Structure 1
């Protein structure tokens, strides 16, 4: 973590952003007081189709009749348009 002034950030923003992109974190100060943290965002990697299928196989089976019964009990079945 590096501490930089607002002026330094303004004057060297391209180099600082390159540092952030490389994983560095900066604290930005104004008049000697830390006011901001500049850090890379944590992005989640997308799943491959194989990983997604493996996760899907681990899910519990859904009992469609029980699901319909519970939905009808909760929402009511009289306004249902159709199955």
Structure 2
């Protein structure tokens, strides 16, 4: 399943939480021109380095498919960051 929502939470130094909910599909649609350029640049890089473009795209697809349910937590002193992919 492709990720649908990324939740970003950051605890500020004063103890309050900053929460951002980022929907993945609208962000991808807005950034699709840059995404297309990135895919083309990746294909050129694959051809230059001798990596199979189909294998690289398959690996990227498997990576994105495995993202839902992932949580990144970082805590340093009074500052904490939590990123959750659903």
The alignment's TM-score, normalised by the length of structure 2, stands at 0.27
Q: Which has the larger radius of gyration?
A: 1
Higher RCO, 1 vs 2 (CA within 8 Å, ≥6 residues apart): 2
The alignment's TM-score, normalised by the length of structure 1, stands at 0.28
